[in-house]
Amino acid sequence: MKNTVSTFLSMKEEGTKITMLTAYDTVTARLINQAGINAILVGDSVGNNALGYESTNQVTMDDMVHHCAAVARGNDSCLLVCDMPFLSYETSDRDAVLNAGRLVREGHAQAVKLEGGVEVASRIKAITDAGIPVCAHIGLTPQSANAFGGFKVQGKSEEGARKLIEDALAVQEAGAFAVVIECVPAKLASLVSSKLAIPTIGIGAGAGCDGQVLVYFDMLAMADFKPKFVKQFAQVGQMMVDAFKAYDEEVKAGTFPGEEHTFGIKDEIMEKLY
């Protein structure tokens, strides 16, 4: 089944949970497709996880186009959502539309995601008016971590909780087809989910959201740091280190490559070469 923005809306109506994972390359996209996940997010978390940047704010439009196109080559059935990087939409509605268009035209994204609530409502409207579906992202928005004073749970005070609800309603009103809610108390995220007609996709926002998203480096234990909200579904990082060590040992011991890994040649040809 090909997942689309309409699938997301029907899933919310039916009460079926939506699954989304990040991917940054073709092979991972293929594996995520094989697992039957509903959506792939080419997150700007590519910056920290795959490119060695200090923060997502260093990620460029060229980085996102490059990685989105790679993911698209391995994608068949997932809805492909690509993050708009820092400063690709803040400057004007026109910049937002042109950059979202690049992610669709060159990166083959089917939808884009951008961070913010009330303050980016006009950007969401402009992009959706241009025919590009937008997934909003509220709560903890990592591109604004400098303004928040770090990576903190959002919406814990009455004022913060009211701001989250206001943001959620504003992005829905602006035309977003879904909204990622990051790092907010579970009860608040459930309340927001019940108030919205569009699906909420939670990360660190509890089980009451309409779907969940995780960064695949985190859920496979490939990242250095494990946030509280992450469950490690497999120890892939350690499996890789163990495999690299075994390879190093076998090459040094002369046990790899073995007979079964080598190509033969007729003895009479070899004899002529000595």
- The reply on whether position 141 binds ligand KIV by CB under 6 A is no
- The reply on whether position 215 binds ligand KIV by CB under 6 A is yes
Least CB distance to ligand KIV at residue 41 (A): 6
Which among 71, 63, 130 has a CA at the least distance from the CA of 96?
130
Q: Which of 83, 89, 125, 216 binds ligand KIV (CB under 6 A)?
A: 83
Is 14 among the catalytic positions? no
- The reply on whether position 44 binds ligand KIV by CB under 6 A is yes
Stretch that binds ligand KIV, among 37-45, 66-74, 170-178, 250-258 (CB under 6 A): 37-45
Residue type, 189: A
- The reply on whether position 203 binds ligand KIV by CB under 6 A is yes
Q: Are 39 and 5 in contact (CB under 8 A)?
A: no
Q: Which of 5, 19, 21, 22 binds ligand KIV (CB under 6 A)?
A: 22
Residue 226 is encoded by which pair of tokens? 């494990």
Residue 220 is encoded by which pair of tokens? 């496979």
Residue type, 11: M
- The reply on whether position 209 binds ligand KIV by CB under 6 A is no
- The reply on whether position 154 binds ligand KIV by CB under 6 A is no
**Beta strands 178-182 and 134-139, pairing class:** parallel
Query: From CA 155, how far away is CA 165, in angstroms rounded?
Result: 9
Residue 178 is encoded by which pair of tokens? 């879904």
- Block residue for tokens 């996880």: 49
Q: How many residues bind ligand KIV (CB under 6 A)?
A: 10
Residue 230 is encoded by which pair of tokens? 């992450």
Q: Are 215 and 43 in contact (CB under 8 A)?
A: yes
- The reply on whether position 38 binds ligand KIV by CB under 6 A is no
Least CB distance to ligand KIV at residue 42 (A): 8
Least CB distance to ligand KIV at residue 204 (A): 9
Query: From CA 43, how far away is CA 63, in angstroms rounded?
Result: 11
Query: From CA 93, how far away is CA 204, in angstroms rounded?
Result: 30
Q: Are 118 and 148 in contact (CB under 8 A)?
A: no
Q: Which residue is nearest to ligand KIV (CB)?
A: 43
Contact characters 160-189, ligand KIV, x per CB under 6 A: --------------------x---------
**Which of 54, 166, 182, 259 does the annotation list as catalytic?**
182
Contact residues: ligand KIV, CB under 6 A? 22, 41, 43-45, 83, 180, 203, 213, 215
The residues annotated with a catalytic role in the active site are: 182
